[in-house]
Amino acid sequence: MSEQLAGAMYPEDLRELVDAELGRLDFSAQPAAAGLEGAMRYSLLAGGKRVRPVLVLATARSLAADPSRYLPVAVAIELIHTYSLIHDDLPAMDDDELRRGMPTAHVKFGEDVAILSGDGLFAEAIRIFCSQPGEPARVLAALGELTAATGVTGMVGGQYVDVAGKAADAEALRSLHALKTGRLIAAAVSVALTLEGLAEPETIPYRRFADELGVLFQIVDDILDVTGSDEQLGKPHGSDERHGKLTYVSLFGLERARELAASSHAKAIAALAEAGGETGDLRGVADYIFTRNE
């Protein structure tokens, strides 16, 4: 339990595994599509904490599995996350020009290439997921979970509710983010459980942890949009307000939003304690999400 003593440390070794694997990806042998591949890499290798793939690997490690074994699934989820950012940034969507301090894909490469680089990342994500070693029935079940979390009942559905401006109260806000952000974060944990074949009852505390983590992530995101500097965020802060978006801060005020974040973090940690296993790395991810300033 020495990991839990260190507690708040983000599992940088897992992030390094992910970054190395992402750098190794080779999408195309076709010179004619080199520009497309370049655009995909531009967005994919822009850095970040790699929270979702690290969650896959940290969950695997908590179950005493070798994290490096799940790299295909982990990078697949990062590709899906990246594709969703590219499409969300488009002029027809959130119309954002900066991300992580760099021009967004459509600013850099044009809208057509940006759309296609998102589409390409999604397709390559599934292709890579299909190459995950292990029992095929489990891989297939895990992929079914992931795509359910990505589609109409998940990420894409949440983004639709967001652009359609249909979230009008606290319940709708929570539901929107549960779809748009929460489902993919939860899937990062649950695919590792499925791949390891964990018995259903044992998955329950992990799933509670993962669901809470999605909520925490979004509350902190909303707070940072108000309190963060442009430099820390890598984009102009206050964009939620400018877009007239309902957020945890606009709905509850900053102080109450901070309390909600603390309460959500505590719930996540409590769920983790019930999960048993070597959950130090998962704790490190939860602590990072709670305390991050970027």
Choose between 6 and 92: whose C-beta lies nearer to a copy of itself. Answer: 92
**Residue 184 · residue 149 · CB < 8 Å:** yes
Tell me the per-residue interface mask from 99 to 118 with a copy of itself, x by CB under 8 A, - otherwise.
Answer: -----------xxxx-xx-x
Which of 7, 144, 236, 238 is close enough to bind a copy of itself by CB under 8 A? 144
Q: Which stretch binds a copy of itself (CB under 8 A): 35-43, 218-226, 248-256, 271-279?
A: 35-43
Is the CA virtual torsion 288, 289, 292, 294 positive or negative? positive
Using the rule CB under 8 A, give the single segment among 48-56, 88-96, 180-188, 235-243 that binds a copy of itself.
88-96
**Contact between 169 and a copy of itself per CB under 8 A:** no
For residues 226 and 244, give the distance between their C-alpha atoms in angstroms, rounded to a whole number. Answer: 13
Position among 11, 22, 37, 77 found at the interface with a copy of itself (CB under 8 A): 37
User: Out of 98, 161, 226, 251, which residue is the one contacting a copy of itself (CB under 8 A)?
Assistant: 161
Distance linking the first and last C-alpha atoms of the chain: 29
Yes or no: say if 99 and 235 are a contact pair by the CB < 8 Å rule. yes
Q: What phi and psi, each to the nearest 5 degrees, are found at residue 166?
A: -95, -5
Distance (Å, whole) CA 123 – CA 128: 9
Any contact of residue 165 with a copy of itself (CB under 8 A)? no
Rg of the Cα atoms in the chain: 18
The answer to whether residue 131 forms part of the interface with a copy of itself (CB under 8 A) is: yes
Cα dihedral value 122, 12, 103, 223, nearest 10: 100
List contacts with a copy of itself (CB under 8 A): 27-30, 32-33, 35-37, 40, 87, 90, 92-93, 110-113, 115-116, 118-120, 122-124, 126-127, 130-131, 135-137, 139-141, 143-144, 147-148, 150-157, 159-161, 163-164, 166, 172, 175-176, 179
